[in-house]
Amino acid sequence: MYSQIDSNKRNSVILMMIFIIIIISIGYGLEFLWGDGSYMIVWGAIIISLLMTSVSYFKGDKIALASTGAKEINKTSDIYLYRIVENLCITAGTPMPKVYIIEDMAINAFATGRKPEFSSIAITRGAIEKLENEELEGVIAHELSHIKNYDIRFMMLVAVLVGSIALISNIFIRSQFYGRRGNNKSHPAFLIIGIVLAILSPLIAEIIKLAISRKREYLADASGSLLTRYPEGLASALEKISQENQPMKKPSTATAHLFISNPFKNKSKFHNLFSTHPPIQDRIGKLRGMV
């Protein structure tokens, strides 16, 4: 389990470094194309993307919960679910998050919040009714691990970088059409470079974002299993999710990466290539390999 956790942390850092290299490369491209002062535009694009994501960072949890129709519970309204979360938090040594129920019969759950002190966990009605106690514990431990590992904050940083790359790439290509027409560097070759960069950079950034999201899922699986000391519980829950393959009633692409399983119906292997989640069978295999 510890090896799996270390491997996922290491791979996530490598992917983040690739992100930074892409942004720096685009910055040098703008410098070469425009000459002096282009770095101000690069920083401007980054600042704009930061402002765009700041609302999501500070209010994203409330938006995500509202979009799923989640309703908060307490110790008296649903003692069974509340006690499971409470006991796992005591074991993990983390603050008790707010607990929500989503009235949806698909088996799923998600956690949100920028840090453990301001976190929430939401579980579908289907997960509560269809999963055995050990399976539900595995799912909740997975979500608590996302909170403990600061995955929400990490993914917000990734979103900022993806937005920055998209904005800077857009600036790069627009400079060829609306930029300094007297610039001796404005050669047709640079127009081709700009078009290729504008198309490929956001695409590559999105692929890296998906890769990081998948690594965080593997990390939460390993961390959650370490918390419960019973990997089979989560593996069995994921197996039920895979066999049922039931999409949520109101899935959203904006919040899909938060859930323990893709809230959309998995249709094909090609569809899985562009999913925010790794294939469930791979996750089950890794979990059962920890025993």
Reported as a single tens digit per residue, the pLDDT across 179-224 is: 554 454 555 666 676 667 667 767 777 777 777 788 889 989 999 9
Quote the distance between the C-alpha of residue 32 and its chain's center. 34
Per-residue burial over 174-199, b if 16 or more Cβ lie within 10 Å, else e, is ebbeebeeeeeebeeebeebbeebbe
Annotated catalytic residue within 135, 137, 143, 232: 143
What DSSP state is assigned to residue 179? S
To which residue do tokens 């899935």 refer?
251
pLDDT at 12: 62
Reported as a single tens digit per residue, the pLDDT across 16-55 is: 677 667 766 766 666 666 655 556 655 665 666 666 666 6
Q: Which two tokens stand for residue 162?
A: 């993806």
Highest mean pLDDT out of 115-124, 128-137, 190-199? 128-137
Contact 56, 67 (CB under 8 A): no
Active site residue 86: no
- Decide the pairing of beta strands 109-112 and 120-124: antiparallel
Q: Which of residues 241 and 113 earns the better pLDDT score?
A: 241
Reported as a single tens digit per residue, the pLDDT across 152-174 is: 767 666 666 666 676 666 766 66
**Rounded Cα distance, 276 and 142, in Å:** 16
CA distances from 2 to 15, 50, 86, 225 (A): 20, 34, 24, 10
pLDDT at 208: 73
